[in-house]
């Protein structure tokens, strides 16, 4: 017999406004993300600009609200001036971060055309590794100022008169990491980020900045780095970044430990996020008080995903190396859903999140020259970005628990819910973490019971390792469910083991 669980929702019991920017992506000049992923003039599937039509259609399905670019580790050695002007004159360089060759055929103008076509907000990372604060300010001038100055006129000469008006700017990337070009200690980074942000804001007062937090909680500097940077640069920071990757077996920085698979812990790995976000939210409060500041700083989870590091590879100084091309399975999709649940439950402090990355490199979309397929993690990403809006509701969840090696006793049922007052539409997202037991769930609305259920999808299948491939692209997808019956403000449904269910409700 299935185990029993219940979820109770009340539109007055809320956790925060859901920022649409929680549903973001990240496109780095890395491996085959840009070249042969998004941009591939040699593919028969590309349009006259070289953009892959099929990839663009899939990215539109993902409905990304914000897109981080151009790195990642890549950005710490990137000279943005290489990527502008006539393509034939753009230099080829060694990109040291991933040991590849950067052809610069895709640069600032091409990225903005891509972002505009997707209808996504650009989030540009400046180079604080080899780059100077002046170069960062010059880039803001190039992208955002009306014509009449050196760089804004150069932009117009390169084909774009209207300023792009990029609002979100990352102040470097993972500057605490030994792998980072131009790694710094916390004090040096805090000062450089502060000075860069100051100049960039003097150039365009409308920008919002994102400073680098520790690149992982495993970093020796965590959370001192975070407190140092926040305290020193608080007045020039609007968002503070967090990065985290999970995997089964659990990844280590060196990736040399021989660890056993532990699916129960993996499916509970979003608990790590709770702790990380709580720690940084506390650090923000401390820094705010130290600065006697009235303004708020929010969290920007601008790199997150499942990453096995098994296919790391080596760029080998080629133009589009096959590196980090992870293949995702059912349990990875469930983990992604639990992380998205956590973002919704932390909606008061987390305002931006970007899945790392979008195509080929640790990504929901995999391509080859003549085809693409949607990986398992594609489906939760699309469902949340399309349906989670309004306020995040605080669900009362009664659920059986099970023991996990890493996170102690964990509820089998993981839930988040949203409600849009303007339209009356609600969405409930439910993950059954059990590998063996179905859950019989009663979902009830304490107030404002919806008139109807308007949509339901489920991912399941029993095999945690099942995934999609070029040969079998739809083996694991979100399948439409027969709508359960709504009876007096309650529905009952059975969630199979290892499943993710989305339920939409609203008015008819
Ligand atoms: O997303 C892949 C890499 O992971 C990024 O370039 C870097 O910021 C992080 O270490």
Q: Where in the chain is the domain with CATH 3.20.20.80?
A: 19-369
ipTM, 2 dp: 0.99
pLDDT in tens, 31-40: 999 999 999 9
Centre of ligand 1 to C-alpha 381, Å, is 19
Give the span between the Cα atoms of 361 and 447, in whole angstroms. Answer: 44
* 85 CB-near residues (< 8 Å, 6+ apart): 158
**Is residue 268 predicted with pLDDT exceeding 60?**
yes
Q: In this model, does residue 255 exceed pLDDT 70?
A: no
| Whether the CB of 28 sits within 6 Å of ligand 1 | yes
Using a 6 Å cutoff on CB, does residue 73 contact ligand 1?
yes
- 154-175: per-residue pLDDT in tens? 999 999 999 999 999 999 999 9
- Residue 236 Cβ inside 6 Å of ligand 1? The answer reads no
For 271, counting Cβ atoms within 10 Å of its Cβ (0-12 exposed, 13-18 middle, 19+ buried), the class is middle
Mean pLDDT of 439-447: 96
Pocket of ligand 1 contains residue 238 by CB under 6 Å: no
| Residue 249 confidence class, pLDDT cut points 50, 70, 90 | confident
- The rounded Å distance from CA 173 to ligand 1 centre is 8
Residue 191 among the catalytic residues: no
Q: Is the model's pLDDT at 256 over the cut of 70?
A: no
Nearest alpha-carbon partner for 500 in 458, 472, 446, 468: 458
**pLDDT for the residue 488:** 87
Tell me the pLDDT tens digit for each residue of 49-60: 999 999 999 999
- Higher pLDDT: 449 or 92? It is 92
Q: Which residues are within 8 A (CB) of 57 and not within 5 positions of it... i.e. 6 or more apart? A: none
pLDDT at 246: 92
Q: Is the CB of 173 under 6 A from ligand 1?
A: yes
Superfamily of domain 19-369: Glycosidases (3.20.20.80)
- In sign, the C-alpha dihedral spanning 260, 261, 264, 266 is positive
- Decide whether any atom of ligand 1 lies within 6 Å of the 326 Cβ: no
Report the separation in Å between the CA atom of 360 and the middle of ligand 1, taken as the mean of its atom positions: 14
Is residue 116 among the annotated active site residues? no
Share of the chain above pLDDT 70, in %: 97
For residue 28, the ligand 1 atom closest to its alpha carbon is 6
Atom of ligand 1 nearest to the CA of 215: 10
What percent of the chain shows pLDDT beyond 90?
A: 93
CB of 214 shorter than 6 A to ligand 1: no
Distance 230 CA to ligand 1 centre (A): 22
Section 443-466 average pLDDT = 94
Protein residue with least CA distance to atom 7, ligand 1:
72
Over residues 454-483, the mean pLDDT reads 97
DSSP label at residue 65: S
Distance 111 CA to ligand 1 centre (A): 19
Arithmetic mean of pLDDT, 394-418: 97
Is the pLDDT score of 144 beyond 80? yes
Residue 253, pLDDT above cutoff 70: no
Q: How far is the CA of 243 from the centre of ligand 1 (A)?
A: 9
Residue nearest to atom 8 of ligand 1 (CA): 72
| Integer angstrom CA distances of residue 145 from 136, 149, 150, 207, 210 | 14, 8, 10, 12, 20
**What is the C-alpha separation between 29 and 107, in angstroms, rounded?**
10
Give me the catalytic one of 36, 110, 141, 303: 303
Contact 329, 377 (CB under 8 A): no
Q: DSSP for 346-357?
A: TTTTEEEEEEE-
Ligand 1 atom closest to residue 30's alpha carbon, by position in its atom list: 6
Q: The dihedral of CA 159, 164, 168, 169: what is its sign?
A: positive
Say which residue the tokens 């052809």 belong to.
Answer: 103
425 lines ligand 1 (CB under 6 A): no
The closest residue, in CA terms, to atom 2 on ligand 1 is 72
For the domain made up of 3-11+392-506, the CATH class stated in words is mainly beta
pLDDT of residue 449: 84
The closest alpha carbon to 393, from 439, 450, 434, 352, belongs to 450
Helix (H, G, I), strand (E, B) or coil at 113: helix
**Rounded CA gap, 470 and 379, in Å?**
17
Our mutation pick for probing the ligand 1 site, out of 28, 29, 128, counting the most ligand atoms within 8 A of Cβ, is 28
pLDDT tens figures, 191-230: 999 999 999 999 999 999 999 999 999 999 999 999 999 9
pLDDT at 257 over 80: no
Radius of gyration of the chain (CA): 23
Confidence class for position 61, pLDDT limits 50, 70, 90: very high
Query: Looking at ligand 1, which residue's alpha carbon is closest to its atom 9?
Result: 72
pLDDT exceeds 80 at position 251:
no
Which residue from 27, 182, 303 has its CB within 8 A of the most atoms of ligand 1, so it is best to mutate?
A: 303
From 30-34, 256-260, 286-290, 502-506, the region with the lowest mean pLDDT: 256-260
- What is the rounded average pLDDT for all residues in the chain? 96
Choose, from 36, 102, 174, 425, the residue flagged as catalytic.
Answer: 174
Which atom of ligand 1 is found nearest the CA of 303? 1
Residue nearest to atom 5 of ligand 1 (CA): 72
Q: Where in the chain is the domain with CATH 2.60.40.1180?
A: 3-11+392-506
The CB-side HSE value for 114 (13 A sphere, CA atoms) comes to 32
Any ligand 1 atom below 6 A from CB of 357: yes
* Termini Cα distance of the chain: 35
Please give the pLDDT value at position 309: 76
- Residue 311 has a pLDDT of 63
pLDDT at residue 315, rounded to an integer: 85
């Amino acid at each position: 017999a299935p185990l029993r669980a219940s979820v109770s929702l009340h539109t007055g019991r809320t956790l925060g406004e859901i920022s649409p920017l929680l549903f973001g992506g990240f496109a780095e000049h890395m491996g085959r993300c840009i070249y042969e992923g998004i941009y591939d003039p040699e593919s028969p599937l590309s349009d006259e600009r070289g953009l892959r039509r099929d990839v663009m259609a899939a990215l539109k399905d993902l409905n990304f609200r914000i897109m981080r670019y151009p790195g990642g580790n890549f950005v710490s050695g990137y000279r943005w001036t290489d990527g502008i002007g006539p393509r034939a004159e753009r230099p080829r360089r060694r990109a040291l971060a991933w040991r590849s060759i950067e052809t610069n055929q895709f640069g600032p103008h091409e990225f903005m055309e891509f972002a505009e076509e997707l209808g996504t907000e650009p989030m540009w990372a400046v180079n604080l590794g080899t780059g100077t604060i002046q170069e960062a300010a010059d880039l803001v001038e190039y992208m955002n100022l009306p014509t009449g100055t050196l760089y804004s006129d150069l932009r117009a000469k390169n084909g774009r008169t209207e300023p792009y008006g990029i609002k979100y700017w990352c102040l470097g990337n993972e500057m605490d990491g030994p792998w980072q070009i131009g790694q710094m200690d916390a004090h040096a980074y805090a000062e450089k980020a502060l000075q860069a942000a100051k100049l960039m804001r003097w150039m365009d007062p409308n920008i919002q900045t994102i400073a680098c937090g520790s690149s992982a909680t495993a970093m020796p500097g965590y959370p001192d780095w975070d407190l140092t940077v926040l305290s020193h640069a608080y007045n020039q920071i609007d968002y503070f970044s967090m990065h985290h990757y999970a995997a089964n077996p659990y990844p280590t920085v060196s990736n040399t430990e021989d660890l056993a698979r532990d699916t129960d812990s993996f499916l509970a790995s979003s608990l790590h996020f709770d702790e990380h976000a709580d720690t940084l939210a506390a650090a923000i409060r401390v820094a705010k008080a130290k600065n006697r500041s009235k303004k708020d700083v929010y969290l920007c989870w601008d790199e997150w995903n499942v990453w096995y590091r098994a296919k790391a590879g080596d760029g080998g100084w080629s133009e589009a190396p096959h590196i980090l091309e992870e293949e995702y399975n059912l349990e990875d999709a469930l983990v992604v859903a639990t992380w998205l649940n956590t973002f919704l439950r932390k909606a008061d402090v987390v305002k931006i999140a970007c899945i790392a990355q979008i195509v080929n490199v640790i990504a929901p979309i995999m391509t080859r020259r003549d085809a693409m397929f949607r990986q398992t993690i594609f489906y939760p990403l699309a469902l949340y970005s399309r349906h989670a809006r309004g306020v995040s509701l605080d669900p009362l969840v009664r659920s059986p628990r099970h023991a996990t090696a890493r996170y102690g006793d964990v509820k089998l049922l993981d839930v988040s819910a949203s409600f849009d007052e303007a339209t009356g539409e609600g969405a409930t997202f439910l993950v059954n973490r059990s590998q063996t037991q179905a859950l019989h769930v009663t979902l009830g609305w304490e107030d404002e019971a919806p008139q109807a259920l308007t949509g339901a999808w489920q991912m399941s299948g029993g095999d945690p390792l099942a995934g999609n491939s070029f040969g079998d692209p739809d083996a694991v997808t979100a399948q439409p469910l027969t709508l359960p019956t709504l009876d007096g403000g309650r529905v009952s449904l059975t969630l199979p083991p290892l499943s993710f269910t989305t339920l939409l409700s609203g008015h008819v």
